[in-house]
Amino acid sequence: MTTLKQRLVSRIRGLGPVTVADFMSEALAARPNSYYRSGDPLGASGDFITAPEISQMFGEMIGVWLAERWQAIGSPSRVMLVELGPGRGTLLADALRATRKVAGFHEAIELHLVEINETLRQTQAKAITTLTPHWHSSFNELPSSDVPLLLVANEFFDALPIRQLQRGERDWHERLIDVVDEDLRFVLSPGSSPLAALLPRDTASAKPGDIAEVSPASLALMQAIAERIARRRGAALIVDYGRAGALGPSLQAVANHRRAEPLAAPGEADLSALVDFATLARVADQAGAAVFGPVGQGAFLTALGIELRAKALKAKGGKDIDAALARLIAPEQMGTLFKALAVIDKNQSPPAGFA
Can you give the binding site for ligand SAH, defined by CB under 6 A?
28-29, 36, 42, 50-53, 85-87, 91, 114-117, 120, 138, 154-156, 159
Bridge partner residues of 24 (DSSP): none
Q: Which is nearer to ligand SAH, 117 or 193 (CB)?
A: 117
Q: Across-strand partners of 260?
A: 253
CB 177 within 8 A of CB 11: no
Bridge partners of 164, per DSSP, are 213
Nearest Cα residue to 245 out of 203, 216, 204: 203
Cβ nearer to ligand SAH, comparing 50 with 297: 50
C-alpha distances out from residue 78 to 65, 99, 229, 232, Å: 17, 16, 15, 12
Separation between Cα atoms, residue 185 and residue 208, nearest integer Å:
20
DSSP E strands: which ranges in the chain? 18-19, 79-84, 109-114, 134-136, 149-154, 163-167, 172-180, 183-188, 211-214, 234-241, 252-255, 258-260, 270-272, 290-296, 338-344
Query: Sign of dihedral through CA atoms 232, 235, 237, 242?
Result: positive
Q: How far is the CB of 27 from ligand SAH (least distance, A)?
A: 11
Closest-CB residue for ligand SAH? 85
Indicate the residue among 25 and 166 with the shorter CB distance to ligand SAH.
Answer: 25
Minimum CB separation of residue 181 from ligand SAH in Å reads 31
DSSP code string of 222-269: HHHHHHHHHHH-EEEEEEEEB-SSSBS---EEEETTEEE-TTTSTTTS
- Nearer to ligand SAH by C-beta: 53 or 213? 53
Nearest to 273 by CA among 250, 255, 257: 250
With beta carbons less than 8 A apart as the criterion, state whether 342 and 292 touch: yes
Phi-psi region of 77 (alpha: psi -120 to 50; beta: other; left: phi over 0): alpha
Q: Are 131 and 109 contacting, i.e. CB atoms less than 8 angstroms apart?
A: yes
Shortest distance, position 86 Cβ to ligand SAH, whole Å: 6
- Helices vs. strands in the chain: H and E counts, helices first: 12, 15
**Residue closer to ligand SAH (CB basis): 42 or 72:** 42
